[in-house]
Amino acid sequence: MSNSSLKLIQTDGTLRLEFSGELTLFTLTNHQATIESISFANKSKLEINLEKLTYLDTAAAIFLDNVYNSFSKNGIEVSFIANNQDILDTLELVKSKKGMHRPLKQKKETTLIESIGKYVYKHWMGFLYFMAFLGELFATKMHYLSSFKNFRFKEIAFEINESGVKAIGIIALTSFLIGLVIAYQSAFQLKIYGANIFIVDMLGISILRELAPLITAIVIAGRSGSAFTAQIGAMKITEELDAMRTMGFSPHKFLVLPRILALMITMPILIFIADIMGIIGGMVVANLDLKITTELFLERFNEVVAAKHFFVGMIKGPFFAFLIATISIYRGLMVKNDTQSIGFNTTKSVVESIFAVIVCDAIFSIMFTNLGI
């Protein structure tokens, strides 16, 4: 790159700027600082001499045009001296294109009412999309159940293994620890009043009726629900869902319903395992801390814990499973064509599934209490 220089020649009332070499984006900084430091108090004319200039790029041409405009507005006569047609054409091109430039409109600040309206509209449309998804799901389910041959046993068995069988370990461990912790915390209070044996009543009813179904649903929402969202979302990004529709296969029939049915089948089984492990955890603490033998614990459990508490917990399983699978798959279908959307919707699916499960559990509790069950 050739050297660039700027020479200042001052006469009475006139200042001449003589550029030489190459005037480009990389050589503008020093020249700009020099020009800005000049005092034009006694100057009425500015001449910009470009006769010794060998090359001028568009960035430098914009700079010269800005110099021309800024000094012209201050009443100083500005003129260019150049004999190179390429340089003159570049200056003319920049001047004509700059005239076509329109400043970007400043973003209007959003008012509180507008923000509330956008928020309500966004969530209302999300609710409508979810209801449309449910409508299509139930329509497909009725067709699915209309004939025995419509059942895709291979896909259902695969999902039972993935979302049920492989979750037994974490469900069993979590439930055991929950039963152990609750029994340990309760034992301290019960010993004060000499009511050690009542730990069986508390553990049996709370675990069978509420804790085992709820803990199982939360673990499944975090484990299997997030997997459903990620799987469906990845298939949408890679356009596998569009390919299925093009070939005449319904994603609801081949992807959605097998996952929902599999989770609805496995959830009661997982709750049953959670019941057993939670009671065992409480039994261990009762034996070690309260000196209640296993025989006495089981005898008391059989006397005071009615079978209805077990069935209340089991009934909740399919409903929790349906909520978890439906919300997770819906969030997978809402994934956009970028990987960041998978993480966003996976997080939302877990949060919304857990929230829906807790709300459903509260409704069941109110309903069963009012019915005297």
Q: Which residue ranges make up each domain of the chain?
A: 4-100, 108-150, 152-370
| Predicted local confidence at residue 1, as pLDDT | 45
Residue of 334, 164, 153, 157 whose CA lies nearest to 232 = 334
Backbone φ and ψ of 300, nearest 5°: -65, -40
| Predicted local confidence at residue 359, as pLDDT | 94
Residue of 365, 141, 177 whose CA lies nearest to 281 = 177
| Predicted local confidence at residue 274, as pLDDT | 94
List, for the chain, all residue ranges whose pLDDT scores fall below the cut of 70: 1-2, 39-43, 97-107, 144, 146-148, 150
| Predicted local confidence at residue 355, as pLDDT | 94
| Predicted local confidence at residue 276, as pLDDT | 93
Q: Edge-to-edge, what's the strand order for the sheet holding 77-81? A: 4-11, 14-23, 45-56, 77-81
Q: Which two structure tokens, joined as six digits, stand for 343? A: 């993480």
Q: Which two structure tokens, joined as six digits, stand for 52? A: 């010794």
With beta carbons less than 8 A apart as the criterion, state whether 303 and 203 touch: no
| Predicted local confidence at residue 154, as pLDDT | 85
Amino acid at the residue 128: L
Q: Which two structure tokens, joined as six digits, stand for 280? A: 């065992």
With beta carbons less than 8 A apart as the criterion, state whether 7 and 50 touch: no
DSSP characters over 40-61: -TT--EEEEEEEEEEEE-HHHH
Report the alpha-carbon distance of residue 253 to residue 241 in Å, rounded: 12
Pairing of strands 77-81, 45-56: parallel
With beta carbons less than 8 A apart as the criterion, state whether 231 and 330 touch: no
Backbone φ and ψ of 75, nearest 5°: 85, 15
What's 4-100's CATH class? alpha beta
- Distance from chain centroid for Cα 62: 44
Report the alpha-carbon distance of residue 346 to residue 341 in Å, rounded: 8
The predicted-structure confidence for 149-162, as pLDDT tens digits, reads as follows 767 788 888 889 98
| Predicted local confidence at residue 26, as pLDDT | 77
| Predicted local confidence at residue 247, as pLDDT | 84
Q: Three-class SS of residue 292?
A: coil
